[in-house]
């Protein structure tokens, strides 16, 4: 009997360490992350929490069994550890009735981080891009099919999925993502992924044409103003990245410094002209409603500017002070509609600085890797990060679920792609160059 148990245990170990299981785990985790809204609306938060807990537990088991392949240096960015630690520390200053909510929200944050770290360690960049591409092809196809079924064939909204059935009128459509803004953001991510798959020759041409057309169509039908801003800035980033890649290696540091200076100047100009920009967009995009919400959030930030009101992630359930903010505005919200202000409200200026450091370090590493490596696959990391960070000015996706998982995946992979860590730990494994898949 003991030999049978030993054989079964060894078979389980071999399964968890196998590349086939790593691919299956990655696809399942990505499907869960991109399908978070649909799972939540169709089955409730308990089902979603169970899925995340199960994936995190499996991820821990995989990392433990693969510990001989891992190194402390490069396992997870220090900025990520500091940000997560500060969120956990906020339990100490949470209001007495909110400590349980803060701890629960942090467990969800840590769960998605574990899943993301597992994916980043068991799959290389090309394999992650392929996994995201496969998942998004299915989800976007299903979204379009459901929109056609709801808006044209049956002419009945699917309330349980938040699909209004407006595709016959040119949108906006929501698909499986619950809102036009999230669908628009996912469509942008899909365009980035599908184009890189095509450029890397990782998928057949007919699949690439179908995928890019599908993502572009849903981006247009979503009619999300924020998504079009993200597309514009991402296109500028593509031009800048391509220009730097064409330069001789000796001239790239100066080009990086120039781009960084231009970016800082533009951000300062946008911040200085923020009231004018809000006025321009207010009448047509509802931007004024966001500005009203942000103003009230800043009023509450002044009460606890350094450490914030404690981490609660999503606004669902109306944790204090979001319940008072919603009453003041007169409209319920599930998030702060701006990741940076949301972090500022929850974790104060310390949390915001740590979040910005996490994002900027990841983006810097990813950008340098994309300009230094010959393969176009490495461009996926900085472009996804840029899209996520720009979208964070309009939505708080980067703080929970899908956005947070993508941020951690990109941060860990970007850290692994920079070989300078071998100066600290010569035994740290350097990821092999991406393999061309059939």
pLDDT for the residue numbered 212: 96
Q: Is 101 helix (H, G, I), strand (E, B) or coil?
A: helix
**Token digits for 201?**
């020759």
Per DSSP, helices labelled H in 247-377 are: 252-272, 274-285, 287-301, 322-329, 339-372
Buried/exposed 211-237: b ≥16 CB within 10 Å, e otherwise: bbebbeebbbbbbbbbbbbbbebbeeb
pLDDT of residue 284: 54
Q: 272 CB contacts (<8 Å, ≥6 apart)?
A: none
Beta bridge partners of 249: none
Report the predicted TM-score, pTM, of the whole model to 2 decimal places.
0.91
- Distance, in Å, from the CA atom of 354 to the CA atom of 360, rounded to the nearest integer, reads 10
C-beta neighbour count of 333 within 10 angstroms: 19
Listed by start position, the domains of the chain span 70-122+251-438, 130-223
The whole-angstrom separation of Cα 426 and Cα 421 is: 8
Residue 411: closest CA among 125, 108, 84, 77: 77
Which of these, 397, 413, 398, lies nearest to 361 by C-alpha position?
A: 413
**What is the distance between the alpha carbons of residues 243 and 233, in angstroms, rounded to a whole number?**
15
Give the model's pLDDT for residue 62: 93
Q: How many CB atoms within 10 Å of residue 133? A: 24
Residue whose C-alpha is closest to residue 227's, from 255, 190, 258: 190
pLDDT at 69: 79
Cα gap 27→6, rounded to integer Å: 29
Which residues, other chains included, contact 212 with Cβ-Cβ below 8 Å and sequence gap of 6+? 191, 194, 195, 198
CA distance 430 to 417: 8
State which residues of the chain have pLDDT below 70.
Answer: 1-6, 274-275, 277-286, 418-438
pLDDT computed for residue 406 by the predictor: 96
Instruction: Identify the three-state secondary structure at position 281.
Output: helix
Predicted pLDDT of residue 60 = 94
pLDDT of residue 168: 87
Whether 120 and 409 have beta carbons less than 8 Å apart is answered as yes
Number of residues in the chain: 438
The CATH code for residues 130-223 is 1.20.1440
């Amino acid at each position: 009997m003991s030999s049978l148990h030993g054989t079964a245990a060894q078979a389980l170990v071999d399964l968890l360490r196998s590349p086939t299981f790593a691919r299956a785990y990655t696809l399942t985790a990505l499907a869960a992350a991109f399908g978070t809204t649909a799972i939540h609306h169709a089955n409730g938060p308990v089902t979603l929490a169970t899925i995340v807990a199960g994936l995190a537990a499996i991820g821990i088991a995989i990392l433990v069994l693969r510990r001989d392949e891992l190194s402390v240096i490069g396992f997870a960015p220090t900025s990520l550890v500091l940000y997560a630690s500060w969120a956990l520390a906020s339990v100490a200053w949470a209001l007495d009735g909110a400590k349980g909510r803060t701890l629960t929200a942090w467990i969800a944050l840590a769960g998605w981080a574990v899943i993301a770290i597992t994916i980043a360690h068991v799959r290389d960049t090309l394999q992650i891009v392929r996994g995201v591409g496969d998942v998004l092809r299915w989800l976007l196809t299903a979204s379009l099919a459901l929109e056609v079924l709801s808006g044209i064939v049956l002419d009945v909204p699917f309330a349980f999925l938040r699909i209004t059935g407006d595709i016959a009128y040119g949108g906006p459509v929501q698909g499986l993502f619950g809102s036009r803004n999230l669908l628009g953001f996912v469509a942008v991510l899909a365009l980035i992924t599908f184009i890189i798959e095509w450029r890397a020759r990782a998928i057949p041409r007919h699949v690439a044409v179908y995928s890019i057309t599908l993502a572009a169509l849903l981006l247009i039908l979503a009619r999300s103003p924020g998504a079009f801003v993200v597309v514009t800035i991402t296109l500028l980033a593509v031009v800048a990245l391509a220009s730097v890649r064409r330069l001789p290696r000796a001239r790239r540091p100066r080009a990086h410094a120039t781009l960084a200076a231009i970016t800082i100047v533009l951000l300062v100009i946008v911040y200085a002209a923020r009231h004018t920009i809000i006025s321009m967009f207010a009448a047509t995009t509802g931007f004024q409603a966001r500005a009203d919400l942000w103003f009230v959030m800043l009023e509450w930030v002044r009460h606890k500017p350094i450490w914030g009101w404690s981490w609660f992630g999503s606004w669902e359930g109306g944790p204090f002070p979001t319940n008072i903010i919603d009453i003041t505005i007169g409209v319920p919200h599930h998030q702060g509609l701006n990741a940076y202000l949301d972090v500022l409200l929850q974790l104060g200026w310390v949390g915001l600085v740590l979040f910005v450091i996490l994002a900027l370090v990841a983006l810097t590493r990813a950008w340098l890797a994309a300009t230094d490596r010959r393969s176009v696959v490495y461009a996926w990391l900085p472009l996804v990060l840029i899209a996520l960070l720009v979208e964070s000015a309009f939505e708080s996706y980067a703080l929970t679920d899908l956005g947070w998982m993508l941020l951690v995946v990109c941060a860990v992979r970007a850290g692994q792609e920079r070989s300078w860590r071998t100066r600290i730990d010569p035994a740290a494994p350097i990821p092999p160059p991406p393999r061309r898949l059939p």
